Amino acid sequence: MSDAPKLKDYFTEEVIDDLGGRIQAVHRKFDRGTFVAAVLDDGWNERSFGERTRHIAEALRQGLDLDVAEALQVLVDSLPHELDGYEGVLNDRFWLWPFGDFIAAYAGDELDAGLDACYELTKRFTAEFAIRPLLAAHPEALDRVATWTSDPNEHVRRLVSEGTRPRLPWATRLDLPTDTVIGILSELRADPSPYVRKSVANHLNDLSKGDPDRIIALMEEWHAEEVAETTWTVRHALRNHLKDGEPRVLGLFGFYPPQVDVDSLRVDPGVANIGDSVELRFTLRERAGQTQRLMVDLVVGYVKASGAQAPKVFKYRELELAADDSVECRKRLELKQRTTRRLYPGPHTVTVRVNGEDLATAEFELQGGS
């Protein structure tokens, strides 16, 4: 059992009181004590993290006896300094999360003020969740957001992509005009910030789940530009297609049908207990008399509770194998229980996959409690 603190426990009385103090410092009529009491009501302990942040946003709205646009300006005026790089996003600034909930809940009829608040918030924390209800309710909001692709602040540019993602984790689906969105993402494909490009790639990965042929064709066009930053974006956007061994995508990056042999694949030991580890060993041997570019993956067939196997692909390595050359390969596989993957006893398999083709398989037995 983990002793790690729960995310919802971030909002201690001290944090809530400090938040109230920041608001009071820019709006003297705000009653800090009443705000704290309203937040820490009888139902506080039972609320989840998301319920707590929304509850705090409600208490802020109750305490700010102003119209929505004025209340949003108070929140903006209370914001701390802008982030320097990634500073603060996932540590000491979680207290800003209710600000995003406030925007999402109350800015629907104050689009300009809501977008202004998102613009300022994202430079200090994140506004990717706050902006989505505004985009969903006001199609014209996308026009203004599109102008942010040239903003000097990387967090603002990232918001353009991250806030418009159709499948943003932890968020509801957002369906925006694909042609417009692709045009916006195109402006960011070679962004100097890896932080921005990663969001663009993740967004394209989302889109490829709905229309893979279109996105792959677009990535082929971008890849042909031979711009290093764009090539990185394309590669990351197509990572799942690479992992799935799609020949069209593999060929885009120079991975063609392999002409290699996998010799002497073995798993040592052949019988292991849950909590132990095994070592995979094999030899890759070039047999076509020409240098080949290889992407080597290891596919582990994990036993499920039902007894059936579920494959999990692990990226192993990429290499160029010279004509008639060979290379020894080793990889240690940890067999520990994880929150993301539960292990069960039974026969497991390991398959060596090269450029999307399964070339050799070995088996080992996993023992131990379930």
pLDDT digits (tens, 9 = 90+) for 281-338: 999 999 999 999 999 999 999 999 999 999 999 999 999 999 999 999 999 999 999 9
Instruction: Report the distance separating Cα 348 and Cα 350, nearest Å.
Output: 7
Q: How far lies 240's CA from each of 42, 208, 234, 249, 250, in Å?
A: 46, 10, 12, 10, 11
Closest CA to 7 of 76, 62, 15, 133: 15
pLDDT in tens, 46-73: 999 999 999 999 999 999 999 999 999 9
- Among all chains, which residue has been given the structure tokens 């790089």? 85
Q: Do 352 and 333 touch, CB atoms closer than 8 A?
A: no
Domains of the chain: 1-138 (no CATH), 260-367 (2.60.40.10)
Q: What integer pLDDT is reported at residue 88 of this predicted model? A: 46
Residues 84-99 have a mean pLDDT of 76
Query: Looking at the chain, which runs of residues are DSSP E strands?
Result: 260-268, 271-273, 277-286, 292-303, 309-321, 326-334, 346-354, 357-367
Q: At a CB cut-off of 8 Å and minimum separation 6, what does 199 contact?
A: 158, 161, 162, 165
pLDDT band at 90 (very low <50, low <70, confident <90, very high): low
